[in-house]
Amino acid sequence: MDLLQPIIKPYAWGSREALARLQGRVSPSPGPEAELWMGAHPAGPSVLVRDGRTRTLTDVVSEAPERELGAECVARFGSRLPFLLKVLAAEQPLSIQVHPDRRQAEAACKSQAGEGAPDGPCADDWPKPELLCALSPFEVLAGFRTREEAAAVLDGLGLADLAPVTALLTAGTDDSALTRALRTLLEWPADRQGAFVAAVVDACVVKADEPGAYADAYGAVVRMAEHHPGDLGLVASLLMRHQVVDMGQALYMPAGGLHAYVRGFGVEVMAASDNVLRAGLTSKAVNVPELLRIVDPTVRVPVVKPRTVDGNPRTEVFGCPAEEFALFRTAVTAEAVPLLPPVGPRVALCAAGEALLRGSGGEVLGLRAGASCFLPDSDRGITVEGAGILFVAGTGFQAHL
């Protein structure tokens, strides 16, 4: 069991208080802190001390992959930790984005290699599904609305410029009409974009203060416009389902699902990939053509309620089909219970209170709120006790064990 030194990502959309409070540091922090990374991702591997030596988790895994990950994990994913555990603290909206599936990512990377273009749309040949568990009410844009609802949201603004987009939605007979509507908005003529976005935002200001089914969605556009003025993503967001994920529930982001985080605090686990295609609400590079090729309008981005694990009523798992990861949550008490999952590589995070982990050989590791550790496959039979909340990320294909 290795205590981790996680990496803090200081993206501009982050909070100056949430991560500092979680880790018991002085709040507010000197600058925005957006993500806390716990894993072996090459863009921010965690650090640990083993046998008196300070190492990155990436180095530890690469030197003995079967000991650290287990033979089954290596056979499936190779010598890399297949997931990354994060804590997200979003005070400003993140980009509208989509992720490719494994087949799409592999094909794109193969094509890029053949064309000698390493800086193509895919950063690697992995998919990037994600699961976000809310530690506070988390506002999101997740998947497309139905065609009928999207048309009603746009119609509600009473703008003539939106009439052709509404016509696309109402004339369509399947969900491909949603992609055509998204294309129309994201490819709005450059010389008219500023006036168009301003008119939509102004209309949303009025509608956000009126009673109605979509007032919250209009209000979200107004708030996002403070951070991304003139961005076509503000208009495109009206095609997406606006919702607030309750504390303790999770949102699963499958491949092809259009989504954006708006604001909130939560634990996220994702496949260890950098494949992100963005369409707006960002200062980073956007790739509208590739996003439109990858996006799947039938993906609905479901809210996931945890289910209790058989034989361990204090541990819940957030079920999702990703083979790269699974997320468990245990309400830790003074009575020791087996830590789940029991096998494979695992990263544990104490989200509140404290947790005491005991290995089968008698070793003990204590975690306070905000602290995390890596548990190799070779260390099995671990129990946990204390008083707090413990999240554990493991591999999805081993989650049933």
The predicted-structure confidence for 175-189, as pLDDT tens digits, reads as follows: 999 999 999 999 999
% residues pLDDT > 90 (the chain): 87
Can you tell me the mean pLDDT for 142-169?
A: 97
Q: What is the pLDDT of residue 110?
A: 81
pLDDT band with cut points at 50, 70 and 90 for residue 311 = confident
User: Has residue 313 got a pLDDT over 80?
Assistant: yes
Q: What is the pLDDT of residue 400?
A: 64
Closest CA to 319 of 341, 339, 340, 304: 304
**What is the dihedral angle through the alpha carbons of 61, 62, 63, 69, rounded to the nearest 10 degrees?**
40
| Domain boundaries, given as residue ranges, for the chain | 2-141+246-304, 145-234, 307-398
Taking the C-alpha atoms of residue 327 and residue 29, their distance in angstroms, rounded to an integer, is 29
Dmax over CA atoms of the chain, in Å, equals: 71
> What CATH number does the domain located at 307-398 have?
2.60.120.10
User: Has residue 59 got a pLDDT over 70?
Assistant: yes
User: Do you know the residue count of the chain?
Assistant: 401
Can you tell me the mean pLDDT for 89-99?
A: 96
The predicted-structure confidence for 202-230, as pLDDT tens digits, reads as follows: 999 999 999 988 999 999 999 999 999 99
The CATH class of 2-141+246-304 is mainly beta
Can you tell me the mean pLDDT for 330-351?
A: 95
148 in Cβ contact with 125 (< 8 Å): no
Within 64-134, where are the H helices?
65-69, 71-77, 102-115
Q: Name the residue with tokens 């798992």.
A: 317
Contacts of 308 (CB under 8 A, 6+ apart): 315, 316
Strands 47-50, 53-56: pairing kind: antiparallel
Taking the C-alpha atoms of residue 401 and residue 398, their distance in angstroms, rounded to an integer, is 6
% residues pLDDT > 70 (the chain): 98
Taking the C-alpha atoms of residue 393 and residue 401, their distance in angstroms, rounded to an integer, is 14
User: Has residue 154 got a pLDDT over 60?
Assistant: yes
Q: How far is CA 60 from the centre of its chain?
A: 26
User: Has residue 162 got a pLDDT over 80?
Assistant: yes
Q: What is the pLDDT of residue 115?
A: 59
Q: What is the pLDDT of residue 319?
A: 84
264 in Cβ contact with 138 (< 8 Å): yes
The predicted-structure confidence for 257-284, as pLDDT tens digits, reads as follows: 999 999 999 999 999 999 999 999 998 8
Terminal Cα distance for the chain, rounded: 20
Within 71-159, where are the H helices?
71-77, 102-115, 147-155
Q: What is the pLDDT of residue 200?
A: 98
Q: What is the pLDDT of residue 113?
A: 67
Taking the C-alpha atoms of residue 273 and residue 125, their distance in angstroms, rounded to an integer, is 8
User: Has residue 233 got a pLDDT over 80?
Assistant: yes
How is residue 227 written in tokens?
């951070």
Of 100-104, 143-147, 353-357, give the lowest mean pLDDT range: 100-104
Q: What integer best gives the mean pLDDT of the chain?
A: 94
SS3 395: coil
How is residue 15 written in tokens?
């909070």
Same fold, 2-141+246-304 and 307-398: yes
User: Has residue 114 got a pLDDT over 70?
Assistant: no
How is residue 198 written in tokens?
């301003």
Can you tell me the mean pLDDT for 320-346?
A: 95
Taking the C-alpha atoms of residue 175 and residue 25, their distance in angstroms, rounded to an integer, is 48
Burial environment of residue 114 by CB neighbours within 10 A (0 to 12, 13 to 18, 19 or more): exposed
90 in Cβ contact with 140 (< 8 Å): no
Q: What is the pLDDT of residue 361?
A: 84
Within 226-310, where are the H helices?
233-236, 288-294
pTM of the model: 0.94
The predicted-structure confidence for 2-42, as pLDDT tens digits, reads as follows: 999 999 999 999 999 999 999 999 999 999 999 999 999 99
pLDDT band with cut points at 50, 70 and 90 for residue 136 = very high
Q: What is the pLDDT of residue 44?
A: 94
Q: What is the pLDDT of residue 123?
A: 79
